[in-house]
Amino acid sequence: MDNLKISTAQFENRSGDKAYNLSVIEKLSQKASDEGSQVIAFHECSITGYTFARNLSKQQMLDLAEFIPDGESILRLTQIAKDHNIVVLAGLFEKDENDNLFKAYVCVDKNGLVAKFRKLHPFINPYLLPGDSYCVFDLLGWKCGILICYDNNIIENVRATKLLGADIIFMPHVTMCTPSTRPGAGFVDPKLWENREADPTSLRLEFDGMKGRGWLMKWLPARAYDNAIYAVFSNPIGMDDDQLKNGCSMIIDPFGDVIAECRTFDDSFVTATFTPEKNTQAGGHRYIQARRPELYKDIIGQSHQSEQKVVWLD
């Protein structure tokens, strides 16, 4: 495998405004390509917006969702990839011919759809159905996987994607700054966002504390380290409907080190160079080789009643 330059982006999306969101995706994709990036990843539902969907009826969701790969947004992403010579990953709501609804994330290059993943643990809208399979695909000589937001909190999903061959996992999110049972969690006051130019310090303290980045750092580096993968984390910045999100889009290497991170309040991206040597030098590679599945395959694989609450819990 050759070295690979990947960017992760963040921007303030507009609810239901695909044309605007795709215009930002194009702007950032062009800039990343101009700076030498080969791939750029955007957040969960970056094309459609996310939080506003909690109030939509099934018909409204069907009107918002698209067929994949023939929907207008996939065609638009393909044109962006072709015009700017960059692979683009972005998220949207998907529908099928039977009016089933899914939370989808796609990888698109100049020739069209490369990969599609359906979120395994969807919420935000009661009409969304869970995906039923993992996604591992070839991208510019690398094996890549996709897991959306809450999927990454179930550690088996990350390990399974790794065992299927992924050395890079794209992890698009809309997360942080929401209530939870964990200490320090909660919403961040939108007034701080409105006043960000005059008082950036108060906003940054909230974004970086236990409502935001402090919580992320409890688990995200471990997913990369334990599985010897590059984690490409993407998250929106600013208002998503009535909820403020803190960005912190970042790339974590197989050693669990943050090697690039968005640290402004602007629509932006950061880029890192992925080197294949790290995937085998990192401790997680040795741990995977040392596994003894005969001890725990029946424990991990035993059936149970899955419980997933449609609430803001991280």
Considering the domain boundaries, does residue 303 fall inside one?
A: no
Q: What is the residue range of 189's domain?
A: 4-297
Considering the domain boundaries, does residue 304 fall inside one?
A: no
- Measured in degrees and rounded to the nearest 5, phi and psi for residue 131 equal -70, 165
| pLDDT reading at 311 higher than 60 | no
Considering the domain boundaries, does residue 219 fall inside one?
A: yes
| pLDDT the model gives residue 312 | 46
Considering the domain boundaries, does residue 79 fall inside one?
A: yes
- In tens, the pLDDT along 220-255 reads 999 999 999 999 999 999 999 999 999 999 999 999
- In tens, the pLDDT along 70-92 reads 999 999 999 999 999 999 999 99
| pLDDT reading at 113 higher than 80 | yes
CA dist 113 to 81, 106, 120, Å?
Answer: 11, 7, 20
> Would you place residue 313 in the very low, low, confident or very high pLDDT band (cuts 50, 70, 90)?
very low
Considering the domain boundaries, does residue 263 fall inside one?
A: yes
The whole-number average pLDDT for the span 147-160 is 97
The pTM of the full predicted model, rounded to 2 decimals, is 0.96
| pLDDT the model gives residue 244 | 98
Range with the poorest average pLDDT among 41-45, 116-120, 157-161, 299-303: 299-303
More confident call, 305 vs 87: 87
| pLDDT the model gives residue 304 | 86
Angle subtended at Cα 308 by Cα 303 and Cα 311, rounded to the nearest 5 degrees = 170
Query: Is there a contact between 121 and 128 (Cβ–Cβ < 8 Å)?
Result: no
CA–CA dist 286, 185 (Å, integer): 35
- In tens, the pLDDT along 168-197 reads 999 999 999 999 999 999 999 999 999 999
| pLDDT the model gives residue 309 | 55
Considering the domain boundaries, does residue 155 fall inside one?
A: yes
Query: Residue 180 is which amino acid?
Result: S
> How many domains, in total, are found in the chain?
1
Give the residue carrying structure tokens 């504390």.
209
Domain containing 118 — which CATH number?
3.60.110.10
CB atoms inside a 10 Å sphere around CB 206: 21
Considering the domain boundaries, does residue 305 fall inside one?
A: no
Share of the chain above pLDDT 90, in %: 95
Considering the domain boundaries, does residue 250 fall inside one?
A: yes
In the predicted model, what is the mean pLDDT of the chain?
A: 96
